[in-house]
Amino acid sequence: MNLNMDVFRHRRRTAPERRELHRLEAIRAIATVEFAKGVIVLLLAFGVLSLVRNGNLWDFVEGILDFLHIDLDGRFAQRFLELADRLSDTKLWVLAVYAGCYCALRFTESYGLWKARVWAEWVALVSGAIYLPFEIYELFRRITIIRASVLIVNLGIVLYMLYLRTMARTEHPLVS
């Protein structure tokens, strides 16, 4: 019965109220994506820090490759293992610090988007746009489903934020 009441209430909203509700839902969906990206990188950072403490990066990478059933004699696996061999504890700490900064940005951005703050829309637009050239380059190097999906999602976010900022400028030129 509550569901029907929600549908009824939704129909009684004015067109501008429905547009604002859809805008808020879209922004919160983007906030959820940004929050998830921050969580994933945070978990990776904790993983990197645990490797600094344990000091067995080679074994860890080898275990991941084995778990993923990747041939350890293959080109990809060899590159990955060589990278693991070259990483010192200092480089791992630097990676962890970068990951922490990235997480702070993603969590701040997701909070601001969830609260529908204009500054967060700008952060989402700029931070997403920065990655586009790299994502396009990687897609041209080798087309994969993951690379194409990442590009499409990021491009969608950037275009939507650009749309919101453009619409805000035309509706309220002095506010934005």
| Domain end residue (candidates: 116, 139, 164) | 116
| Domain end residue (candidates: 82, 116, 150) | 116
Classify residue 13 by its DSSP letter.
Answer: S
The Cα–Cα gap between 65 and 78 comes to: 10
Q: What is the pLDDT of residue 131?
A: 92
Q: What is the pLDDT of residue 19?
A: 87
The tens digit of pLDDT for each residue in 74-111 reads: 887 788 788 877 777 787 788 888 999 999 999 999 99
Q: What is the pLDDT of residue 55?
A: 63
Looking at the structure, tell me whether residues 91 and 128 fall in a common domain: no
Looking at the structure, tell me whether residues 3 and 79 fall in a common domain: yes
How many other C-beta atoms are found inside a 10 Å radius of the C-beta of residue 99? 21
Looking at the structure, tell me whether residues 175 and 105 fall in a common domain: no
| Tally of domains in the chain | 2
User: Per-residue pLDDT for 7 more than 60?
Assistant: no
Q: What is the pLDDT of residue 76?
A: 76
Looking at the structure, tell me whether residues 94 and 152 fall in a common domain: no
Torsion of CA 14, 18, 21, 25, to 10 degrees: 170
Greater model confidence, 2 or 144: 144
How many other C-beta atoms are found inside a 10 Å radius of the C-beta of residue 96? 18
Q: Where are the alpha helices (DSSP H) in 55-116?
A: 57-67, 75-86, 89-114
Greater model confidence, 56 or 159: 159
Most distant CA pair in the chain: distance in Å?
Answer: 64
User: Per-residue pLDDT for 146 more than 80?
Assistant: yes
User: Which one, of 121, 95, 109, 116, lies nearest residue 41 by Cα?
Assistant: 95
The tens digit of pLDDT for each residue in 39-60 reads: 999 988 887 777 766 667 777 7
Q: Which two tokens stand for residue 110?
A: 């997701």
Looking at the structure, tell me whether residues 37 and 3 fall in a common domain: yes
Instruction: Tell me what percent of the residues of the chain surpass a pLDDT of 70.
Output: 88
4: containing domain: 1-116
Looking at the structure, tell me whether residues 147 and 86 fall in a common domain: no
Looking at the structure, tell me whether residues 60 and 100 fall in a common domain: yes
Looking at the structure, tell me whether residues 49 and 127 fall in a common domain: no
The Cα–Cα gap between 151 and 145 comes to: 10
Looking at the structure, tell me whether residues 1 and 74 fall in a common domain: yes
| Domain end residue (candidates: 116, 136, 164) | 116
Prediction pTM value: 0.73
